[in-house]
Structure 1
Amino acid sequence: MKHRGRHRRRRRGAALRAFLAGTALALTAAATLISASQATGGGNPGALKPLTSPADTGPLRLREHPVPARTLNRLAASMGRPVGVDTVLRSADRTMREAADCGSGDRESLPSTPAATRAYCWDRADTASPAWRPASVTTSGDADDDGVWGTHRVILAGWTHSTTTGPATERGLAKVAFVDVDGPGRPAYRWVLLVVPVDGGRDYRGLASGVSGMAWYQDKLLVTTRAGSADALYVYDLDRIQRTTVDGPAIGRVPGGWSADGYGYVMPAVGSYRLPAGHCAASGARPCPGTLSLDRTTAPAGLVAAEWTAPGTDRGSRLWRYALSGDPARGGPLATDAAGLAEPVEAYRTRASGIRGVLSYREAGASHASWYVGQLPGSLDGHGRLWRQDTDGAKAAHCGSDSTHHCWAESTGSLSYWQETGEVWSLSDRMLFSVPLAALDRSLG
């Protein structure tokens, strides 16, 4: 859990003003209107349809499966004392570039409407191979209501390796960039490989998972998996990051110590959530959470999820919410009953498909939340769309004077709302960026 004694809270003073001042970017290259060839595919998804019957909500239940404490303790005893987020950031060895210093192709992947106010491209060493792709984002604004974790403001970005290209040892792996965004300028970051303890904590394996969604709450990180997995979500502990000791291509225990495909840190899973009826399936019988985000506008705070369905198809997705636990002594972040089951507390069906980002936000005094969904284009290429939906209807941004709604990022990633600053963070296939939620709402037609 997060220890307040170790967590130095900062006042909203000069440091925060310096952090926010001067960050608006004139991203004129991203304001180019989307071509007519990208204006096809999918109509207005309309109003959300509430799902209330047990037949509809039952397939969304999850059962908590913690990794035994003795397994985690055995691994830590062999690898050394775990470290936290501050330690990882102090060793940052990569630097992001501001939008003005990024290539034109990078900037063209950004949304055109609304325009990003902050945007960064990754270190060139990490974009040299197309096999690694970013897809998910969460922030210390999710983790804690003051937006600070330890001594830093932090963004976590999840990347997944292709399952069909690149070195066989890397296929399907997942890693997280720990990005230090304490001030304006060029953020620094460090990679942490996601792993799963095996053999009772005597070894670990790489997590073979499509991290299309992540959510950080208190000291826990939830990540999505691939269709067909026995585990719908994996759980990680931000205070249980382990250093590796051998720089080599292997993953796990090796002669002389511990290796992780050349990465200096690993984060071992501390638990998972499974569908009681069996493996999650892309067919829809047992929906796989395709993307996640955290909603701090409800009481208690909630984890929201969207089902993955193929873009450009007639099969819409389900959107749903779990309550988060307020008990810091619990190993898992979801609220569960005595049997370890997490029940959805709210669920809907949307006609939107190809959802790669979901966000729920309830304004003070509002009777219900608005749901924002980032949608891939049906062609799997070009700019996507971002809709705001509720039980009354749906709206999306228009691209300037053009009638198309394909104004969102290319190969859009997950969404994360930073309550302290009012920003929505997301990713294209090339850049990390933010837009003010107020600007997003103003752009809706």
Structure 2
Amino acid sequence: MKQRGRHRRRRRGAALRAVLTGTALALTAAATLISTSQAQVTERPGALQPLTSPADTGLLRLREHLVPARTLDTLAASMGRPVGVDAVLASADRALREGSGCTDTDRASLPVAPSPARAYCWDPADTGATGWRPASVTAAGDTGDDGVRGAHRVLLSGWTHSTRTGPSAERGLARVAFVDADDPDRPTYRWVLLVVPEDGGRDYRGLGSRVSSMVWYRDKLLVTARRGGAAALYVYDLDRIQRATVDGPAIGRVRGGWSADGYRYVMPAVGSYSFTAGDCSAGGAPCPGALSLDAGTAPPSLVAAEWTSPGGDRPARLWRYAFSTDPRRAGLLAADAGGRVDAVEEYRTKVTGIRGLLSYREAGAPRTSWYVGRLPGSQDGHGGLWRQDTEGAKAAQCGADATQRCWAESPGSLAYGRDSGEVWSLSDRMLFAVPLTELDRSLG
């Protein structure tokens, strides 16, 4: 039975690759219609420039703010015992469809080069005119067995609701799709709403902030968040997921129990990080736009990229923070006694509009490669992907005019699965994976 199952998956995988190859060829043909000015083929961001001045590095310092254990315990005492990832996956009520079962519009959002090895589109109920848009993806980041949580292979995808469309109560909210990827032919998922405890754990509110990227490490989920001009990272504990008890549109404590805008599960924040330099602004603290886990450093590290306007002339910063090695602080960043967290590596790049980021160093390689996925200057259509280090930069090219707009349409974050050697990412319509070797080959 297992052998027949493997053959069936291989046949389906071959069919999917055929569909994706045809899509890629069609997109390549379409890319030849992009003018040279639109493609920005003359752009050359060059090498990464190290930042060493205290005036520069000091702007990346964070301060840690942990939610008191008493607050979390108060919330749990009222809502009931917290559940973990397995309970959420067991109640999955949505299914992802393989690329061959997706619409032409869905598949047209995939990268032109390299062609994905796997691709999925979301349940139609979650796309279209709902106001919700995906922006981030991450896998189980424990360095012991990346991509696996307990008995399951799990992916998480962060979505944010538009602040301009849809029901006013949902605008700006953030939610996470918990994807059970055990069966590659039919992944399933369930939504969890991100919330923040209030009033000492006697209430909570929706996060109400754009989640452009996130990282799963140990039992923690770190997400980017912005409220007004303030830029920060919020921290969530995957073992502290709570069940809502009232099915209604409100968020928080209501008569008869706890409501979460119709969602069954909420995940309350257990901490946050803010920049000691204050709100993000040009020339000051950066506005974090992309995150990823680098499990190849010792200790593992969180890498981050600054958000700058696509096609602008203001360079962006890339940097990393070390994770704590203290078992009592599993999944938190390495902070000093005063709760301060300093970056351990910093660079400046001329790439703008960064939506995805990876840092990876192959065994024996002289330098670390930084992969940056970006939006085009028009902020729509297919984006580009660069690989940079301190010696130079390369980008994938496609089409007759060698456009660099070969990556996904409205691309999101990047996540590397060390067990499979695949890079996971997403367009505004699909979730997909590309082997890192193919990604490097497309970059020359």
Counterpart-to-counterpart distance in 2, 1:19 and 1:284: 55
Counterpart-to-counterpart distance in 2, 1:395 and 1:111: 17
Please state how far the C-alpha of 1:149 moved relative to its aligned partner: 0.5
Q: Within the alignment, does 1:245 sit opposite 2:250 as a pair?
A: no
Q: Alpha-carbon deviations, 1:311-370, whole Å to 9, x = none?
A: 011112100000011223116610111111111000000000000001000111223210
Counterpart-to-counterpart distance in 2, 1:93 and 1:422: 29
Structure 2 residue aligned with 1:357: 356
Identity of aligned residues (%): 69
Counterpart-to-counterpart distance in 2, 1:263 and 1:233: 23
Please state how far the C-alpha of 1:128 moved relative to its aligned partner: 3.2
Contact in 2 for aligned 1:76/1:242 (Cα 8 Å)? yes
Structure 1 residue aligned with 2:150: 150
Structure 1 residue aligned with 2:181: 181
The 1:21–1:204 alpha-carbon spacing in structure 2 relative to 1, beyond 3 Å, is same
Structure 1 residue aligned with 2:23: 29
Structure 2 residue aligned with 1:397: 396
Contact in 1 for aligned 2:9/2:185 (Cα 8 Å)? no
Q: Mapping of 1:96-107 within 5 angstroms?
A: 96-107=96-107
User: After alignment, is 253-262 or 359-368 more displaced?
Assistant: 359-368
Structure 2 residue aligned with 1:376: 375
Counterpart-to-counterpart distance in 2, 1:118 and 1:405: 22
Please state how far the C-alpha of 1:277 moved relative to its aligned partner: 2.3
Counterpart-to-counterpart distance in 2, 1:401 and 1:211: 36
Q: Alpha-carbon deviations, 1:152-207, whole Å to 9, x = none?
A: 11000000001121111001000000001012202100000000000000000000
The 1:130–1:399 alpha-carbon spacing in structure 2 relative to 1, beyond 3 Å, is farther
Query: What is the TM-score when the length of structure 2 is the normalising length?
Result: 0.93
Please state how far the C-alpha of 1:309 moved relative to its aligned partner: 0.2
Contact in 1 for aligned 2:80/2:243 (Cα 8 Å)? yes
Contact in 2 for aligned 1:227/1:280 (Cα 8 Å)? no
Counterpart-to-counterpart distance in 1, 2:295 and 2:376: 29
Please state how far the C-alpha of 1:151 moved relative to its aligned partner: 1.2
Contact in 1 for aligned 2:219/2:330 (Cα 8 Å)? no
Counterpart-to-counterpart distance in 2, 1:153 and 1:410: 26
Q: Alpha-carbon deviations, 1:62-97, whole Å to 9, x = none?
A: 011000000000000000000000000000000110
Contact in 2 for aligned 1:249/1:260 (Cα 8 Å)? yes
Please state how far the C-alpha of 1:297 moved relative to its aligned partner: 1.1
Please state how far the C-alpha of 1:30 moved relative to its aligned partner: 3.1
Number of aligned residues: 432
Contact in 2 for aligned 1:138/1:215 (Cα 8 Å)? yes
The 1:142–1:106 alpha-carbon spacing in structure 2 relative to 1, beyond 3 Å, is farther
Q: Alpha-carbon deviations, 1:38-66, whole Å to 9, x = none?
A: 52477121100000111110000101100
Counterpart-to-counterpart distance in 2, 1:70 and 1:227: 25
Structure 1 residue aligned with 2:171: 171
Structure 2 residue aligned with 1:407: 406
Q: Mapping of 1:42-441 within 5 angstroms?
A: 43-141=43-141, 144-226=144-226, 228-230=228-230, 232-281=232-281, 283-330=282-329, 333-399=332-398, 401-441=400-440
Counterpart-to-counterpart distance in 1, 2:163 and 2:155: 26
Counterpart-to-counterpart distance in 2, 1:300 and 1:255: 47
Counterpart-to-counterpart distance in 1, 2:153 and 2:439: 23
Query: What is the TM-score when the length of structure 1 is the normalising length?
Result: 0.93
User: After alignment, is 362-371 or 205-214 more displaced?
Assistant: 362-371
Q: What stretches of structure 1 move > 6 A for 4+ residues in a row?
A: 13-20
Please state how far the C-alpha of 1:19 moved relative to its aligned partner: 11
Residue type of the partner of 1:394?
A
Contact in 2 for aligned 1:66/1:332 (Cα 8 Å)? no
Counterpart-to-counterpart distance in 1, 2:245 and 2:77: 14
Q: Alpha-carbon deviations, 1:360-397, whole Å to 9, x = none?
A: 00111223210000010011111000000000000011
* 3-state secondary structure, aligned to 1:29: helix
Contact in 1 for aligned 2:296/2:361 (Cα 8 Å)? yes
Q: Which runs of no fewer than 5 residues in structure 2 stay unpaired?
A: none
Contact in 2 for aligned 1:144/1:218 (Cα 8 Å)? no
Contact in 2 for aligned 1:18/1:184 (Cα 8 Å)? no
Counterpart-to-counterpart distance in 2, 1:130 and 1:39: 31
* 3-state secondary structure, aligned to 1:74: helix
User: After alignment, is 23-32 or 242-251 more displaced?
Assistant: 23-32
Q: Which runs of no fewer than 5 residues in structure 1 stay unpaired?
A: 1-12
Contact in 2 for aligned 1:334/1:342 (Cα 8 Å)? yes
Contact in 1 for aligned 2:175/2:194 (Cα 8 Å)? yes
Residue type of the partner of 1:30?
A
